[in-house]
Amino acid sequence: MGVFNTLSDTVFAPLETARRNIKATVEMAEIAHILSVGNGVAQVAGFTDLHADELVAFPQGVMGIAANLQKGRIGVIVLGETDQLRPGDRLRRTGRVVDVPVGQALLGRIVDGLGRPLDGGGPIEADDRLPVERPAPPIMHRAPVDVPLQTGIKAIDAAIPIGRGQRELILGDRQTGKTTIAVDTILNQTDGDVISVYCAIGQRASAVAQVIASLRNHGALDRTIVMVAGGDDAPGLQFIAPYAAMTMAEYFMAQGRDVLIVFDDLTRHARAYRELSLLLRRPPGREAYPGDIFYIHSRLLERATHLRDEHGGGSLTALPVVETQAQNISAYIPTNLISITDGQVYLSPDLFEKGQLPAIDIGQSVSRVGGKVQRPAFRAVAGSLRLMYAQFEELETFARFGTQLDEETRRKLTRGQRVREVLKQHEHHHLDVPAQIAVLLAATEGLFDQIAPDDLADAQGVVQEAVRQQKPDLCDDMAKGKELTPDDRAGLIATMRDALNPDQNEATDGNA
């Protein structure tokens, strides 16, 4: 008996104590089960009440979006891997839509389409959580786009100016430098007040790693949110990624900040949505895309705008990237996005092969905001650049027939060739506004006409240095947006001419 009592005290007594401490709780949840699953989509049944686009929770922590509400079954877009999900597994309602964290803590972080960190930097202490699908600001809340967003790229800032709050499409064939232009624009905001968001959709991991390395090496990552939905991720994550990135950017715009967002690229986003729509048995249309393919991009890009001061005064500039095939800009997705956006920067593979980098085709590129967002000094210098360059290209084509050319035509050809060389620019080599104005003024006024094309790079450096050293006050005025008076223009030209012809100046001083 003693042994039995001892055993009861040591074994059964703790169990009895634990039993008394157990408190029964009732958790109510609406449960359904999986009918079939695969390729990023699940068919489920069992819910008696469910809202469109509501978030549902699968086992293993996987989430999904209720996309197709049909009698007897529901099509769910799975936001994660489906390898661990099986028919018969249970899922439950969450009662909320897809939302993501927003706030200052996201700057410098790398996250996925649901805002979960991918950089190993620990959890994100968000200021709030906001839904990824939000209505665009009403028309009456919007202000005109009149402040420039400097890219640091001469060809864009001079001929295709972009304003804060504008939507400018970047399109071209594969490997023509589309991502480079977008990343260079982000890097040029490092010393300014613009916050950047880079959203990679369907990209290779190596390509995304190169972009992140460039941002980190140039000190831009601390002011940038990087969202990654790679090509190996579920199509559902690729689909919601741009909307989630836009929500994160809108949070800063609502606080009166200026934000730049890059979608790289929306061609892969459209393909991911096409894949999901076909798996959900939605009727296919042109090129097998669903009928609402235009709407998924228009409702995204319509959220980019410039707000009036009474509504915060912030701006959200969008640079969507789209890939063309065989220079066909009249394909379905490119024409959709051209009609949605406020202009496009077209990169030509022919120019790329000729070494004209960045390979921007000025003739097929346009900014529908135009010179309204250029600083007055910039507009005075670059206002006629597009027309002059177009005339030069026509003359160059005509001159290939070998006909005899008069002196005026030869002069225009020489100057056009120098302008084309001046518009070349190395990757990650950004120029501020005074330097761009100086170089473009020298090219359009003919100061580079007697310089060999191979020596133009050195001549541009000489001109920029001379203007900075001898006209510092004028440089400050141009950077602040003041007009370039005729006397200022003449003084700039004289300073640059003296810097390019030092021997002639010494001879003149000696004769004096």
Tokens 């940038």 belong to residue: 224
Q: Rounded CA gap, 345 and 358, in Å? A: 11
Say if CB 31 and CB 76 are below 8 A apart. no
Say if CB 266 and CB 331 are below 8 A apart. no
Q: Rounded CA gap, 356 and 197, in Å? A: 28
Any catalytic annotation for residue 386? no
Say if CB 292 and CB 280 are below 8 A apart. no
Q: Rounded CA gap, 65 and 56, in Å? A: 6
C-alpha torsion angle, residues 317, 297, 153, 486 (rounded to 10): -60
The sign of the CA dihedral 32, 35, 38, 39 is negative
DSSP state of 310: G
End-to-end CA distance of the chain: 128
Q: Rounded CA gap, 182 and 360, in Å? A: 13
CA dist list (Å): 65 to 79, 98, 101: 8, 8, 18
Say if CB 203 and CB 229 are below 8 A apart. no
Pairing of strands 110-111, 224-229: parallel
Catalytic hit among 368, 375, 386, 415: 368
Residue 412 phi, psi (nearest 5): -65, -40
Active-site residue numbers? 368
